[in-house]
Every structure is written in structure tokens, then in C-alpha cells.
Structure 1
Amino acid sequence: MYNSDSQLSSTQAVNSKHPFNVYLTAGEYVKAIGTQDGYFPDFGHHVANEMGGVWLHPIKLLDGFWLRVTDLDRGISVWSKSDEYITYPWGNAFHYDHGLGHIPVAIEREQFAPEHEKGLVVRYDLHNYADRPTRLKLELLARTDLRPVWFSDEIGILDGAKDIVEASTNRVMHAKDCDHEWHAMIGTSLPGEQYEIGEALFGPEFTSGQGCGVKFETTVTLEADARLSFHLFVAGSYASKQECEATYETLVREHARLLVEKKATYEAIRERAELKIEGESLFSDIFSWVKWNNQWLVQQVDGIGRGLTAGSPHYPWWFGCDNSYSLQGVLAIGDHELAKDTMRILLDNSKKQNGNGRVVHEITTMGAVSNPGNTQETAHYISMVWDMYRWTGDRAFLEEHYTYCVQGMDWLLHEMDPDGDLFPSGYGIIEIAGLNMELIDSAVYTAKAMQSLVQMSLELGEAERASQYEALADRAIQAINTTFWNEEQQLYADAVASKQDVLPKVEFLISMAEQNGIQGYREYLEHQLTHVQDETVDQGWLINKNWVISTPMESGIADRAKGESAIRHMRNADFIGPYGSYLSGTFQQGTMTISTGVHAVAEAMYGDIDAALDLLQRMNGSFSRVLPGSMNEMSPDYGCAVQAWTVYALMVPTIGHMIGVQPEAHRRSVTIAPKIPTAWQGKDIQLNRVRIGDAWIDIQLRVEQGQLKLQVTNESQWNIRVGWQGKTYMSSESVVEVSMA
């Protein structure tokens, strides 16, 4: 099993297929993003060419840092480029040997961002492996670039024309943006006194931005087999020079302690909701890494809050849609504080931006909202509030969010549903131009939100309101299973609209298909159009067979017979590829961990648990393909190198369905109803330190020849209900032991 000192590595030879592999060094404040050769090339489109470097959101501190090594005896000078990159849960390492040419020196570089400090710590260790002394000149260069995050221009926060850099000492530099109280300090324990500051001072990469170069230089003789170690420290502040200086002093004085604390944090994450499956070490190890990946994406910003961002390096801010999925997985792995913190950011910014129940789509770390919210995410947020309450039992949280949930449902059913069919209009998860109709995901999650509001209202003593929501939910579910159902293809439709509303979009949809090399799409759409006689009547349209047609099954909204049929008709090569579920059954050109995860939950709910595991195993096939220890947003090797909703994709099917944990923290009760895949039967399975409310339980189980043997350590003596093949068993003993055939 992996622990917090575990490592996964890659070499340049292994990764030659993907020469631009990024890494992430993450604390809750600072994120460092470069490439696995140890460099910091310009890349990115949100802030053009600026998404890498060292960030203290909402500002950038550095474009990067580099080390040049010169062998004075041999006359060889190189900017060090790593031969091997290593991911640790708590940080990263780079090994340099062949990248230094014929210089007989090996370098190890190790770096981490302390979890709760606004800084970065980098340690270099040089080893002279020659049999004689080697004289070296070392030049450690950093490039400042104090600038704001994406979308700041739109709210009037502009990057200053330059960074002003001054020497605090000959080994510590202070940088300030000329127009803002944005500060960075760069310093080193590298021996020597020489330094240089200059706007035209660059390392091996000419980076964009309006920053300044700083260089520390020394000459040193390493005896045979001798070593030299030194640190680079980077501190920042978006408030004051004094705060920046205090952080810098803490890094210098306490970096050893901060690393010990960082490792302890990641060990605690491993131990919480720890999965062990006999003979399935790879699955269990990936399970641990996904939990660690989740922590990498936590971002604190003073004055805004702490929450789970969507992905690195391209989406390092907060999303309503992404977190409505991701936080389901976060709850399952027991990080209730992170889930609450993130929901508070969504609530606060939705109130500020909209104030009418609509939940925002995208919030930058500067506090700017670039999109006030797609239809689906308001509904999804409402259900997320109820999920939070089921896992945490936090009544104050429920009361805090309930009023906005009621407002949100009112917004969905009035402003967004003018025809009153209970299918809100507008963009959903699939943000494709033209698909702003009555979409399946918006309809399904609205019905699910109604069901959630029934439970919330009852819990808060609003019986009459609960009755109204229950009637609406019944109507909505019936309408979904009637209007969205395509009998011919035995699938749920992407959207509901009249023929007269679809016709203006046809040529655009066809052109999009043709641009992607899809043959026969015109004939496919025209076949649907010719079967519609009345152009004014709403009906379901299978436009692209987008992955969200799994949502009726994922949410439990589908009629049982239709849901089972739909999931069977999606269990084929039209919908499933080597790494999971395609984003579109028509286009078959992209796969995401979220499309695969939702499909896996749908299989667990209405289909075959073996098929659900197959989807997860396909998804896991992308593990470490680009960034060792992580799965990319787009499987297997595209998009964000770390993506938050992967925690949903792996944890909800595994914990919620295969192990079968169904919490009711508000009732001090837990149901465990396992669905064990065939491949795991006959094996010992453990899920330890599962957190529900203020209780922690350990689950051990084994299924063999149809018999379940289960033991639950239940020190809080909650009500444990075990479900197996139509039978139930209940107990509140501190140790619950069950044997059921």
C-alpha cells in the first residue's frame, strides 16, 4: 500500500510521446506548475502564456526558476534539465545527471508548498561523483511576474507595467508590482555574495510577462564524492510587504517542521476512507492517489474562502457544476470541512452575483464571476445540499442553505420554465453553442432537486411545502420518462424541443459533425426530422447522444424498465472506449473521468456492477499516463493534469455502491448494502475510517458463493442497517457481525 512517502516517477524517455508534461506542487495557498524536465515554459489560454509558474492565487509570483551549472575546469556550461521526475503526495523531486552533459555532478531537486503558508520551498543537493575535485560556478535564476488571475481585467484589476525588485540582502530579493500591494520575496542559502537584478535577465526560457530577473551566483569546489545542499525560498503576499517578510522568515526558519507537518497531513488523508482489497493493490493505490489529488486542488484565498477548485493547470478556480459532482466524492472520503467550505463559496458568490436562487457557474480566485450560472447547476446544487446533510448531519448548514435552495427552485420553475412543463431551459453541462434547450441533465437534476427539497422541508418542519415539492417531483419524473424517452433507440434523449425550434440549429449541428469527420450525421438528423408531423409539439431529440443521457439512471429518476433498457443499450462500443465513456455516442472523440463516473453510477443503479467496475478500470488505465500519480481531465492524456471531479468518478461508485455506504447522519444511521463485482468476490475487502457525521466506522466484508460476511466497527453505536439480496439486518452494537446468504 502507498503511504505519504510513496512516489511515482517518469523519465524523459518514457514521456517522449508527451514532451509537454506538467506537474503540480500544491499547498492550500501556493501552486507551482512547470514541466517534468524542471523547466517553466509559457503556456495556457485563459491568461495567455501565463498559466504556469508559481501562483499565490489570485496573483502570480514567478514565471519560474532555473539553475545553470558551469564546470570551470572542463569549460562546460548547461542549464540543468532533469532526467527523471518524481511525484510524491506532498511534493515533487527532479533528478539531473545526463541532462548536465559531461559535468560529473548529479543533482537532486526536491520541492513542496507548505500547506498553510504563502510560500514554496525548494532544496537542491549536488553530488560530485568524480574521483577528483570539480570546480563549479552555480547560477540560480528566478523570474518575477506579479500579475492577477484570469478575468481580472473585466473587473478593473490590471497588471502593473513592471515589477520593482530590490535586494534586501545579497541573498534575498523583494519584488513589488508597481501599482498594487502584491509582493514576492526570493532568497537562497546558496553560499556566496554575487547577485544580479535586471528586466532583461532571463534563464533558458524567454518567458512572457512584465516581470524582472534575479540571479544568485557562486563559485564552489566540490571534492571527490562531496555534496553541496542549498535551498530556494519563495514567499508572497497580496496584502502587504510585512506579511510577505513574515512568511519568508517562517519558511527559512521552519521549513523542516513544515515538511513534517505536510507529510502528516497527507498520511491522515490516506488513512481516512482507506480502501484495501485483497489482490487488487493497484485499484487501492489509485484510490489513495485520487484522495491526494483532491487535496492538491484545494485553494485558500484570504477574504474569499477555501474551496475545491476544478482542475490544474487550466481551471484553478471554483465551479458550481464541477463541485456539485466533486463534493459527492469529497463527502465519501470524509473531508466534510472542505465540502462545507466550498459550498459556502458557491452560496456567498451566488447571493452576491444573482441573489435569486441561481447558482453561479465560475468564480475566479479574484472573486469575479464570469458566468452567472447554467441551468443545470442550480438544480444540482440543491441536491448537493441534501447530500451534505445526509453525510454530515449539520443542521446549521442545512438552515444556512435552505432558503437559497427554495429560491433556486423558484427560479428554475418560473424564469427558466416559461411553458410550465417542469423542464427548465438553457445551457446545461454540455456547453455547446446551440444546445440551450430543455436538456436532459437540467430536467433530471431539477426533478432530483425537488425530491431533495421534500426531504429538506420535512426536516425543517415545512410539511406543506414538502407536499408541494413531492407533487411537483412526481409530475416531473413522469414527464421525463415520457417525453425524453426514445422508444425506437431505447435511450433517453439529449433534449426536448419542437421541430420548429430544432430546424434553425440543424445546419450548425451538421457542420460541427462534418468538421469532426462524422459521416452520415445529416441523414441521422433528417431521419428524426421526417418522423415529426406537428412542428409545434415538443418531443425528445437524440442530437449527439451526449454522456448526460446517463443521468436519469445515475440519479435514480429513470423508470426501472426503461433505465435497465437504456443502460443495456449504452453498454457497447458506440458509448464506451478504451478509457471509459465517450462524451458523445455520436462523435466518440473524447472521454472524461466525469462521463465515465456518471456512467459507472448509472450501471450500479440500474445495470450490472461488473460493468460499473469495467468502466472504472478503463478510467484507471489513464492513471499516470501524463502526470505520475494522477488522471487527466480528458482520458487518457489531455486537458487538466489533475481534475477534481475524478474524486466523484472513483469514490461514488466504489464507496456508495460497491461497498454500499448510504449515510443518514441526521438520524445517526448508516445503511451498508454492498454490490460486490465478480472480480472482487472471494477476497477480503476493507474500508476503514469512514466518516459519517461525528462517527467513524470500519467496514470489513467478504462475499463468497453468494454469502456475505460483514463486520462493522461502530464505536459510536449508531444504527447499522445491512442490506443483502433483499434481506436486511439491523444492529447498534459497537461491533456488528453479519453473515447473510
Structure 2
Amino acid sequence: MRRDTRRGIALAATAVLAAGTVAVPPAQARERAPEEELTTTTRLADRRSVVVGDRFYAMSTADGLYPASGWHVTGEMGGFWTPPLKLLDGVWFGVDGAWLGKQTRAESHTAGYGYTRTRYAASGGVRVERTDVVPDGLRAGLIGLTFRADEKRTVRLDVDAHSELMTAYPWGGTTPNQSAHNLPDTGAYEDGALVFRERGRPQVPNASEHDFAALVAADRRPASHRLGSGHRGPQEPPVVCPATGTTPDRCDDSEFGKGTGGRLTYDVRVPAGRDVTVWVAIAGSDRGDGEARAALRSALRDPAGLLARKKAARRAVAANTVVDLPGDRLLQRSVEWSKQNLADSAQEARDLRVRVTREGRQYPAPKGGVPVARWLGAGWPDYPWLFGTDGEYTAFASVAAGQFTDIKAHLRALRDTSEIANDRSGKVVHEVISDGSVYFGADDDAGNTDETAKFPSAVALVWRWTGDRRFLDDLYDFSVRNMRYVTGKLDEDGDGWPEGLGNVERTGMGVEKLDNTVYTIRGLRDLADMARAKNDTATARWADERAARMEKAFDRTWWKGGDTRQYADSVDDPDDPADDNTRLFQRHWIGVTPMDAQLVRPGQVTRPLAEDERAHTALAKREEPCYTGDNGLYHTGTGPTSAEGGNKGPSCDSAVSAVQSERVVYSLGNGIMAVAEGNYGRLAQQRRYTAANARIQLDPNLWEMPGAMPEIAASPDFSPANIDRKLTDRSMVLQAWGAYGTLWPVVRQQLGVDPDMGRARLEVVPQIPPGQSRVSGRSIRLGSGSVDVTAESRGGTLRTVVNAARLDGVALRLGHVLPSGAEVASVTLDGRPVAPTVRRTARGDEVVVDAGARRGTSTLVITLR
């Protein structure tokens, strides 16, 4: 799914809960307080743990140790980072000579809203609890060690730190690579702190002179200190991962590393029966030690206060989009934690130098700079930077969660870097590392076409939910050029279908991809909608007419038909010059995109691209075992194939594919399938996929870090699962895009919230999943206000209650999706009979009523015959 992850990932299914086996509490149950902590006690040494602030993050294992992790630079993606710079491999703590996590066993690890906590077994009469937190806005992280003893005593605390001042790019396999770019670190002790520096200029063309600094200190003076090349606590002497070739099962450093170490020793007086906390701060900068020292002072001035403020900020995140799903508490909990996952994903860096690396093959001089970039990091630890595709899917979750600021910033950062890298062509870059290096997505690269086409849709989405006219004005010109580029530069044969790479980066596909086509159509429709708001009638007419022509020809070109009952993955075989858009069928997940993409057409009800009958047929087929396993939708389904190895699973059709199946479940694929099911009112089927993403985030049998939705679920061709793999060969422990599959189905589809705040309009048309009687949500942010929604279905009566007291001057239309075959006996609005409109939509028949621009609570009651 991602440009630089084609590393032969494959994993076998593990024992999981059967799809759909979700405990359902009584329907009378009401909203419960959020679960602000999740704790695990098993396999702590094998679980990764990440704690994130917008300018700093750290990754360890759940026992508080720092084995070598990640693969972009083998073994170097964990530890402590302040983008775009790595600071340390790790920090280790010894208590009276026993290292925490090694000689003193970790008993439990807790993920909280904005922090983590590790409890250790009692040792020598002392018990230690560790709290990790990263304050936002600060290039520093904090670790608090809380000591408790039954008897008064003085504890010796050793703090080991091993530096690795290293930029996020180059990587291990690029030209140049990190071996050439990384310089040796130096260590010193100054004013109670360990001070690590890397200064100089790598012997690499176009590299710059730099001054990197990392500092480690506590909130008290040390009794002594030591310096040396080691100091990795219990991971000394280190097992070193080679730069290439087979890595050991577990490493402590890599051949890329050129760090050094030091130790600070403290005498901690612990009164009998009272807690004492020692706070240790790690701070750094890529702009010299002055900024690093300032960050260190800020972190240590009031560590407990910074922790309290972080918790308060995350409770504020939790206070938006508070849903109550009595019939699906698992999904409700997933919504709660998905909001935190999104907040965890915010990143910011300064002074990005935009250079086009051609997939790591070159290291030219920068083309320009971006003073400040803020974005939603795609995944940890190997993808914490800026992506087009990821952010455009994550945008749907972000607006549903009310997290407007970061997704606006993400889209602006994409625009800013794309304009420099691609000379204002309109093409959106694919991947930008936190130093500004563009790995893929320059004008001369083959793709990704889809993210250029998706960009206007993301802008339109954010504008509809926020009503932010300045945001629309700022990104409108770039959005126009996006679609002019796709239609003018990427359709060489003039058949209307764009060429280039899309989401599926696999061999054997045709020149023109299904997802590129689908998102181009949607992008044109969304551009036209924005153009009408801008009174740009020429652009609106052009985009609508172009989309209409594509829509008219879509089914006859792309429907594969036969017993596949699917759309083709691509057309135009590159190996056949005479190919006339012959359909190529390979069973990739992108076959769901015609059901995923909603089209806004003037004067029509918003609906997905695929026609209803074919959509229901295609979705039903995707639910069969050839496409869906225990944990959700496969990347590439099984069936007859001419590829090496033959068919590796059940067959659901007789078509012979030229590629091998890939039974790997991505959280994004589950999200797209869940949204597609909901677009057609298939909420019973949707639950299979929302539950799949919720389980890999919340089911202790499945997740690696509690509450964190991963990139890939345990699945037949992803074996072993992440927790059983080498730490240098895992997919992401936290991935932002999966939240698309939980937040959007609940807020947009089940609660039916459909804003057009740029035009001061709001529709709320809920649909309650079968077998349930009530769904509700409060504090759903829209524009500068919010809305509360409750939908009920009881005894032949449908009720929709909307509280718009915090919205001003917004025209409200409310309604309800009718159960299949239901007939309406009467409709009242606030107790008075009204004449409703019944409209046919992809979700089913909707009864809607105009309530006007009223404030306060509106109640629609539909009585069925």
C-alpha cells in the first residue's frame, strides 16, 4: 500500500475472536465515562510503546528498555526524536544496581490519554513506577520515576544514556545512505547534564554544515557522572545489527550508529511510606545547544504541571465527538481511542529543506524551504512524517473527531512542499520526510496519481465541516491545478482515464488504475462544488462536465462482470501496444473504491459512484472468504491465478488472475470496506469491518500496544504477527489512517451528520444499525460550534433529536433512514404534524424535513404503519 514498504511482508493468522462476536450490552444502557487507561501485563519485552508530542516522541518496549527497532535505518527508528533529528538510542535506569526492565521486572504497562506508565516489581524494599510524557510545543520529553519504600532510605539511581544524533533522512538503503551521512557524536558533562553533540559537514555532496545537540538531566543535581562509549544500561555490551543482511533476533544498536554515552548518578532520599518522584528530561535540537538547553529548562521547570496539562489537553480531545452506542460498546471505545490516536499523530518541524530524492537515488541541493510544517504522521516508528494518501484518508476521521487544526495544517504542508518540489505543476507529492526530503511524488515520478486527485476532495471535506472561508480561499488555486494536472498531464491516450500509480503499488497492473479513476471523478465533483462557492463558473462547468462524461462511461469500461461480480483493478495492459482498455482483474482492495467515494452533484442527493445493484453485488462478494478473513479485508483476494504458487485460498470466481493473492489485512482496507458498506445502508455488514479495526486496537489478544490501531492486522500472509517478529521487521504499531474505519461510519453514517458549513447548512439523517435501538453523539464540532444528535428506533417509531444550540444561523434539515420495506404513517416536528420529503438514496429511503435556521433542540418523530 505504501511506496517504500514493499519488503515482502507476509503473516499467518493467529487465534482471534470470530468476526462479529462482540458483546452487546442492554439497549437501555447509557453513555459511559471514557476509559482513559488501558493496561497489559503480558509480553512487555515484546511490545513496542510510543509516547508522542507534536515536537518530540519516544519509542521503547513496554518494559522500559530500548532494543534496536525499525527498518528505514535498520535498528535506528526507535529511541528519542525531535523531528527531523534522532537524539538518543535510549535511557536506562538502575536502582541500587538493578536495572529496571532487566534485573527488576516490569509487571504492567499502561497506555493513557497522552502518557504511558510502567510499574516494576519491588526490589530491595523499593517499588518504582515510571511515567513517560511528551509535552506539546516542546522539543523535550519527560520520564518520571516515582519511588516508594516501607522504610526510610537513600536509593542510588543510575541514569544511563546513549546518544545517536542522526537525521531522519538519508535512510539505510538510499544514495547516500546514513552510514555516509552520520557523523560521530561527542559527549560531555556540563552543569548537571549530559551533553551530546554532532557538529560538522558530512562528506556527501549537497550536505550542509550542522550543529546537533541532545541533553539529559534530572530535576536535581547528580552525585556523580561518567562518560564513555557505552552506557546502555542492561543492554551493554550491545548486540549490533548489521547494516545489510540478516539481523539477529534482537539487537541493541546498529552499524549505522556513531553515538556515545554517559551516566548520571543520584542519591534519592525516600521517606517511609511516601512517594518521591525524580523527573528526567531529554531535550534536543538540530540548531545548536542553545535551543536544546532552553527546552531542557522548560521541561524541568514544572514536570508535574506539564503532565497535568497534557492530560487536560487530551481530555479536551476526548470531550469532542462523545458517542454513546449501547448496542456496540466495542465500537464506542474504538471511537474514544481513535480520537487519541489522531491527537498522538500531530507532528511539527521547522526549516524544512525541500529536496527531490527520486526514491532515494539522489541527494541534490534543496529546491526551496518551508519555514514551518505541521502534519499528521502516518505511522510509528517508520512513517512519522508527511504523506498525501494517508492524510487524505485520515482527513475524514479528523473532521469527524473535531480535530480541525491539524488536518488543515497537514493539507497546507502538502501544498507547500508540492509547490516547491514540483514547480507549481499541481501534482501532490507522495512522501515528505521531516527534514523536507521528498522521497516520491515529483513530476517525473510515475505517481501517485490518486493523491493528486484526492487533494481537492480533502479540501472540500474540511471546508464543509469547518466553514472556514480563508482555508478554502488559500487552497482553492492549488486544488484547481491538481485536477488540471491529472486530466491534462496524465491521460496521454485521451480516453478519459488517468494513468500512473495509485494506492496499489504492485506489478502486473494496467496503465490506468481503478482507484485513480474513482478519485478523479470525485475530485472533479468536489472541485466543482468549491468553484460554485467561489463563483468560478468556468471551472465549475468544466469539472462537472468532465466528471459527467467519466461517470457515463465508467461502468461499461470498468465493470468486469461475469462471476467475479467486481470492478476491474486496472485497464490498458502495458505489455500489449494494441490493448484497447482490456480489463485486468487481480482482486486488489481498490475494487471497493467505487463504493467508497461519495459524489456531490449539483441538485442531486449525494451518493457513491457505483450504482446500487452492482454495489450490493460487489460488496456481498467482498464479504466472502476469498476476500475477507477473521480480521477483515485482504489486500488481494484469493482465486485462480497463473502466478507462482497457484491459488492459496478459496475461490469465489473462475477468473484467472496474473498475480498472487496477498492475504494481508490493513486497517485502511477495513476502513474503506466499512465506509463502503455504510454508504449503501449495509450497517449489519459494516459491523464486521468496524469491529475488525476496533479489535486490533482494543482486543488484548490482538493489539501490540493497548489502544493503538496498527497498520496491519494478524492475517494469513502476515506471519508471524508483529509481536512475534523481530523489532527491525515490523509494520507500524500506531497508524493514523485506520481511524477512518471507526469515526466516519459512526458520525457520518450512523448518526447521519452531513454538514455544509460553508453555506450554513446541515443535514442530520441517522441510520440505526439492525438489532440496535439507539445511537447518539454530543459535542460534534461543526464550524465554530457543535451539535448533539440522538437517534432511536422503538416500537414502530423513529426519533431524531438534534440540539443545535451551539450553532448560529445554520439551516437544519433532519430526518431518518427508513427500515427496508417500512411505510410512513405520520411525521411530526417538535410535536406538530409536517409534510416530509421521502427521497431515494443509496442508503435506502430517507424521510427528511426542513427545520429552518432554528437554535436549540429539534425533535422529529416518524411513526411507521
Task: Name the TM-score, length of structure 2 as normaliser.
Answer: 0.77
CA shift for structure 1 position 331: 1.0
Say if 2:96 and 2:156, in contact at 8 Å, map to a contact too.
yes
Structure-2 residue corresponding to 1:519: none
Say if 2:135 and 2:306, in contact at 8 Å, map to a contact too.
yes
Structure-2 residue corresponding to 1:583: 635
Question: What is the one-letter code of the residue matched to 2:213?
Answer: H
Tell me the secondary structure at the aligned position of residue 622 of structure 1. Answer: helix
Whole-angstrom CA distance in 2 between matches of 1:2 and 1:95: 27
CA shift for structure 1 position 222: 5.8
Question: What is the one-letter code of the residue matched to 2:348?
Answer: Q
CA shift for structure 1 position 65: 0.6
Structure-1 residue corresponding to 2:711: 633
Whole-angstrom CA distance in 1 between matches of 2:692 and 2:579: 43
Change in Cα spacing, 1:76 to 1:483, as seen in structure 2 (3 Å) is closer
Is 1:200 aligned to residue 230 of structure 2? yes
Say if 1:160 and 1:178, in contact at 8 Å, map to a contact too.
no
Question: What is the one-letter code of the residue matched to 1:146?
Answer: L
Whole-angstrom CA distance in 2 between matches of 1:665 and 1:313: 36
Is 1:322 aligned to residue 390 of structure 2? yes
Structure 2 counterpart of 1:490, from 534, 541, 565: 565
Structure-1 residue corresponding to 2:43: 15
Structure 2 counterpart of 1:687, from 777, 789, 812: 777
Say if 2:144 and 2:280, in contact at 8 Å, map to a contact too.
yes
Say if 1:597 and 1:616, in contact at 8 Å, map to a contact too.
yes
Change in Cα spacing, 1:192 to 1:44, as seen in structure 2 (3 Å) is closer
Tell me the secondary structure at the aligned position of residue 478 of structure 1. Answer: helix
Structure 2 counterpart of 1:370, from 433, 439, 451: 439
Structure 1 counterpart of 2:62, from 1, 13, 36: 36
Is 1:473 aligned to residue 547 of structure 2? yes
Structure-2 residue corresponding to 1:552: 594
Is 1:740 aligned to residue 862 of structure 2? yes
**Residues 248-259 of structure 1 correspond to what in structure 2 (within 5 A)?**
248-259=296-307
Is 1:63 aligned to residue 89 of structure 2? yes
Tell me the secondary structure at the aligned position of residue 429 of structure 2. Answer: coil
Q: Which runs of 5+ in 1 are unaligned?
A: 505-534
Question: What is the one-letter code of the residue matched to 2:89?
Answer: D
Whole-angstrom CA distance in 2 between matches of 1:606 and 1:64: 49
**Residues 123-522 of structure 1 correspond to what in structure 2 (within 5 A)?**
123-129=144-150, 136-151=155-170, 159-169=181-191, 171-179=192-200, 180-189=210-219, 192-205=222-235, 206=238, 207-208=253-254, 209-218=257-266, 225=273, 228-278=276-326, 280-302=328-350, 303-354=371-422, 355-372=424-441, 373-435=447-509, 437-488=511-562, 489-498=564-573, 501=574
CA shift for structure 1 position 263: 1.1
Structure-2 residue corresponding to 1:530: none
Say if 1:426 and 1:436, in contact at 8 Å, map to a contact too.
no
Say if 2:64 and 2:101, in contact at 8 Å, map to a contact too.
no
Is 1:96 aligned to residue 148 of structure 2? no
Is 1:661 aligned to residue 753 of structure 2? yes
CA shift for structure 1 position 136: 4.9
Task: Name the TM-score, length of structure 1 as normaliser.
Answer: 0.89
Structure 1 counterpart of 2:111, from 68, 78, 87: 87
Q: Which runs of 5+ in 2 are unaligned?
A: 1-30, 201-209, 239-252, 351-370, 442-446, 598-607, 639-660, 715-720, 723-730, 819-845
Say if 2:671 and 2:739, in contact at 8 Å, map to a contact too.
no
Question: What is the one-letter code of the residue matched to 2:431?
Answer: E
Tell me the secondary structure at the aligned position of residue 814 of structure 2. Answer: strand
CA shift for structure 1 position 332: 1.3
Structure-1 residue corresponding to 2:798: 708
Structure-2 residue corresponding to 1:539: 582
CA shift for structure 1 position 35: 0.5
Tell me the secondary structure at the aligned position of residue 402 of structure 2. Answer: coil
Structure-2 residue corresponding to 1:523: none
Tell me the secondary structure at the aligned position of residue 744 of structure 2. Answer: helix
Tell me the secondary structure at the aligned position of residue 476 of structure 1. Answer: helix
**Residues 103-118 of structure 1 correspond to what in structure 2 (within 5 A)?**
103-118=124-139
CA shift for structure 1 position 149: 0.3
Tell me the secondary structure at the aligned position of residue 182 of structure 1. Answer: strand
Whole-angstrom CA distance in 2 between matches of 1:118 and 1:221: 30
CA shift for structure 1 position 399: 2.2
Whole-angstrom CA distance in 1 between matches of 2:710 and 2:70: 16
Change in Cα spacing, 1:79 to 1:181, as seen in structure 2 (3 Å) is farther
Q: Which piece of structure 1 moves more, 188-197 or 484-493?
A: 188-197
Greater helix content: 1
Whole-angstrom CA distance in 1 between matches of 2:705 and 2:498: 39
Question: What is the one-letter code of the residue matched to 1:15?
Answer: R
Say if 1:276 and 1:686, in contact at 8 Å, map to a contact too.
yes
Whole-angstrom CA distance in 2 between matches of 1:258 and 1:273: 25
Change in Cα spacing, 1:245 to 1:338, as seen in structure 2 (3 Å) is same
Q: Which piece of structure 1 moves more, 482-491 or 712-721?
A: 712-721
Structure-2 residue corresponding to 1:563: 615
Whole-angstrom CA distance in 1 between matches of 2:97 and 2:164: 31
CA shift for structure 1 position 575: 1.6
CA RMSD, aligned part only? 2.5
Whole-angstrom CA distance in 2 between matches of 1:221 and 1:392: 53
Structure-1 residue corresponding to 2:841: none
Structure-1 residue corresponding to 2:740: 648
Question: What is the one-letter code of the residue matched to 2:531?
Answer: S
Say if 2:749 and 2:766, in contact at 8 Å, map to a contact too.
yes
Higher RCO (CA < 8 A, seq sep 6+): 2
Whole-angstrom CA distance in 2 between matches of 1:337 and 1:739: 36
Whole-angstrom CA distance in 1 between matches of 2:684 and 2:379: 29
Is 1:696 aligned to residue 789 of structure 2? no
Whole-angstrom CA distance in 2 between matches of 1:604 and 1:648: 12
CA shift for structure 1 position 39: 0.5
Change in Cα spacing, 1:164 to 1:146, as seen in structure 2 (3 Å) is same
Structure-1 residue corresponding to 2:367: none
Is 1:728 aligned to residue 848 of structure 2? yes
Tell me the secondary structure at the aligned position of residue 315 of structure 1. Answer: coil
Q: Which piece of structure 1 moves more, 56-65 or 189-198?
A: 189-198
Tell me the secondary structure at the aligned position of residue 323 of structure 2. Answer: strand
Question: What is the one-letter code of the residue matched to 1:320?
Answer: G
CA shift for structure 1 position 254: 2.2
